[in-house]
Structure 1
Amino acid sequence: MRALFPGSFDPVTEGHQDVIRRAALLFDEVVVCAMVNASKAGRLLVAERLERLRAAAAGLGNVTVDFHSGGLLVDYCRDAGIDVVVRGVRDGRDLEHEVPMAHMNRELAGVETLFIASDPERAHISSSLVTAVVRTGRVG
């Protein structure tokens, strides 16, 4: 079975890497797809995000990386023959945000969503937090 792990991945975090590794254990193939999020201003160029995603998936033979900039997530799934979307959730707020989208994906195209709870040691990490820390120059 093929699964899609979509996100803006701007930047890729340890939490994303954890979800990629865990999804790779559950599915025959996982497509990690950097997508455009109209509600977020992109910080990294697409090429850099894709390069970082490929590095995050290194050694996982059943993981491929792609980019999608137009149309709905379910359109991508239909075109790629994907029936399951994987989403990492850190807390109740993430789940509250993700569940309505999961319902809509199922309604629109029969695409199911599998939620993977984040590793508690990484649950505080978000792309926004990583970016803020990098801007302070306190990366160690």
Structure 2
Amino acid sequence: MIKVVYPGTFDPPHLGHLDIVKRSCALFDKVVIAIAKSPRKNLLFSLEERLDMFRAMVEELSPKVEVKGFDGLLVDFMKKEDIKVIVRGVRLFTDFEYELQIALNNNNLAGVETIFMMPSQDYIHISSTIVRDIASYCGNLEGLVHPYVAKKLKEKFGCF
């Protein structure tokens, strides 16, 4: 069985993330979405909220997909979960440049491999930063996030 991890902060998770998960499911036996606690980042949602939102998004993909939180180095989480492959979504060349540095360091630290996937054309323009910006002005989130995530964003920003 080939298990992969799809790590990130996912603040908030969006349809581009879901696209990568669904396409990973077609290639691998098990996809573990690893949501980083990331206490040093100024996050909009708590780890528990991000876990809840991503679980709602992938409910139909169970049991092939699991959503777990972690704190610390990704490679330590991977060792604990017995996972040897990372899946990362990359949208632009600047994403690839940053992700390549991380992939090389993860390989040096623990011998893990990283597979890069581009989101489908329908989702390549979406980022969590853009979603947060639109939500902060109570803008239309349709086509960007799962309805449950949209509800949580509206609650967070008081948009009713």
TM superposition score normalised by structure 2? 0.83
Alpha-carbon separation, structure 2, partners of 1:29 and 1:16:
16
Structure 2 residue 12 is the aligned partner of structure 1 residue 11? yes
CA RMSD of aligned residues (A): 1.2
Equivalent residue, structure 2, for 1:48: 49
Structure 2 unaligned residues grouped into runs of 5+: 142-160
Equivalent residue, structure 2, for 1:64: 66
Query: Whose Rg is larger?
Result: 2
One-letter code of the match for 2:16? G
User: In percent, how many aligned pairs have the same letter?
Assistant: 37
Alpha-carbon separation, structure 2, partners of 1:32 and 1:97:
20
* Structure with the bigger percentage of strand: 1
One-letter code of the match for 1:68? F
Alpha-carbon separation, structure 1, partners of 2:57 and 2:41:
22
- Residue 124 of structure 1 aligns to a residue in which SS? coil
Equivalent residue, structure 1, for 2:158: none
Equivalent residue, structure 2, for 1:93: 94
Once the two structures are overlaid, the 10-residue window that deviates more, 32-41 or 6-15, is 32-41
Following superposition, the deviation at residue 39 of structure 1 comes to 5.2
Once the two structures are overlaid, the 10-residue window that deviates more, 29-38 or 104-113, is 29-38
Following superposition, the deviation at residue 43 of structure 1 comes to 0.4
Following superposition, the deviation at residue 47 of structure 1 comes to 1.7
List 4+ stretches of structure 1 deviating above 2 A.
Answer: 36-40
Equivalent residue, structure 1, for 2:26: 25
